[in-house]
Amino acid sequence: MKSTATLLITCPDAKGIVAAIADFLYQHDANILHADQHQDAENNLFLMRVEWDLATFNLDEAAFGQAFARIAAQFSMIWQLKLSLHKTRVAIMVSQYDHCLADLLHRHKSGELDCEIPLVISNHRDTEALVKFYGVDFHYLEVSKDNKPQAEAAQFKLFADYNIDLIVLARYMQILSPDFVARYPQRIINIHHSFLPAFIGARPYHRAFERGVKLIGATGHYVTEVLDEGPIIEQDIDRISHRDQVEDLIQKGRDLERSVLAKAVRWHIENRILLYANKTVIFD
């Protein structure tokens, strides 16, 4: 696989941004592989993702920042440089439902998710054998209303010890504290088993059944302090009928949850997501 760099940019919209970036990369012998952009007229924003081959590029990571500073200042850019050789290190948190966890571990093992998964944390032991089968470290941490601060402190230590970049809540049935969320902004992805903003919180399939909906869904989103209202990364739906019982909704929903969460994680680790105004832009 090629060694690549990806530049993510957000700035006020203006003439000449694309030309300036393309000329800068050309001057430093970059071979551009992908480039995509989005303009938000309402917010006067320009967003861009550009990826290039590093084989002939003549700037290292430190030198890039110095060389790019003039253009960044000229257009008031907020920018990030991501290198493919730095694999995202992912921690998965799970409770008792194992379908999303199993799917992520399988996709990672098969090479579909180009990241590292060194750690799984759970407040139950149900998934321990599965995790160890894939050669991943499993840590059981009991969580209750009486020990939650201590449990989260232990989780923070594990994230630091394993040098974790991204936390994935694969049906982790605990509400994170504001301190937890604040420590990892835009670095926690959750799968919610409904088509948000409908049926936030607990037991959405039961509530959907009681409401008599004809569509159910799943939502992958970044976690914020406001429950189930973080920026949405991906959603999908499935049609149901009056013949479907709660158990049918749950089964159909699990298929949605697996695929939606996998896409959200993949897009994050491939540096395809930019956030603004509690929304996401996904560059395909």
pLDDT in tens, 82-119: 999 999 999 999 999 999 999 999 999 999 999 999 99
Which residues, 6 or more positions from 216, have their beta carbon under 8 angstroms from its beta carbon?
Answer: 194, 195, 205, 208, 237, 238, 240, 249, 252, 253, 256
13 is catalytic: no
pLDDT digits over 237-267, tens only? 999 888 988 888 888 889 999 999 999 999 9
Catalytic residue among 98, 165, 228, 244: 228
**In the prediction, which pLDDT does 127 show?**
97
Give the per-residue pLDDT at 203: 83
CATH class, range 89-282: alpha beta
| pLDDT higher than 80, residue 26 | yes
How many Cα atoms occupy the beta-carbon half-sphere of 141 within 13 Å?
22
Burial class (CB in 10 A: 0-12, 13-18, 19+), 229: middle
What is the rounded CA–CA span in Å between residue 23 and residue 226?
42
Query: Please, which pLDDT band fits residue 194 given cuts at 50, 70 and 90?
Result: confident
Residue 206 has pLDDT above 90, yes or no: no
Q: Which sequence spans correspond to the domains of the chain?
A: 4-83, 89-282
In CATH, which of 3.30.70.260, 3.40.50.300, 3.40.50.720, 3.40.50.1370 is domain 4-83? Answer: 3.30.70.260
